[in-house]
Amino acid sequence: MTRILAVLFAAAFLAGCASSPLSSFGRGAAFNESTLGYVDARALRVNISLPEGYVLDVPTTRLVAVARSKTGTRETQLALNPVTTSTGKRGGGMLSKEMAVTTVEMDLTDESMGALRELQSFVGAGTAKEVGLRVKLRLRQAPPGATSVKVWVDMRMSAMEEFFPLIDGATIPIAETKP
């Protein structure tokens, strides 16, 4: 049975359908429509960490960029390549102990780098009034009977920056789909 984890996180990857501006990104520095142009498509990285027993389906996982303007919404699905896979521990939260996780570091495919640059041009032309990001995750494997999974997502916008947390151990429901 295939299990799908369809998670849409607007802008700061917060659970739900609400949209928040990119100014919620980063550590102390504003990140908004005007700074999207400074994102280095070649150096952009996304780390997704899942507890042991859960396996990310990288080929179907996407970073989705959305730009809204007066004339409509432009959505770009950005495919990701695996760069490295590592194991480690992540905090489970205030009331939970650390748990063993597998982290997949991904970068943009060549085609997705071009698509991000096109979106940057669109936003840079002053057309967009709001920019958001979300991540769409799919699991290739989950433990039998699992109904939810804890997820950590970290992102790096350029080689000059450190990874910063977007999701810090959020529990996300798993929807079952037909094979």
Give 62-118 pLDDT, tens digit per residue: 998 888 877 778 888 999 999 999 999 998 666 678 899 999 999 999 999 999 998
Nearest Cα to Cα of residue 53 among 120, 102, 124? 102
Sheet strands side by side (includes 148-156): 128-136, 62-69, 72-90, 99-108, 45-51, 148-156, 164-173
Helix (H, G, I), strand (E, B), or coil: what is residue 58?
helix
Rounded Cα distance between 63 and 107, Å, is 10
Q: 56 pLDDT band (50/70/90 cuts)? A: very high
Residue 120 backbone phi and psi in degrees, to 5 = -60, -40
Residue 9 backbone phi and psi in degrees, to 5 = -120, 115
Q: What is the CATH topology of the domain spanning 2-158? A: Immunoglobulin-like (2.60.40)
Give 18-55 pLDDT, tens digit per residue: 222 222 233 323 345 666 777 888 999 999 999 999 99
Give 132-178 pLDDT, tens digit per residue: 778 888 999 999 999 999 999 998 888 888 888 888 888 889 874 33
Give the domain ranges of the chain.
Answer: 2-158
Rounded Cα distance between 68 and 103, Å, is 32
User: Model's pTM, two decimal places?
Assistant: 0.77
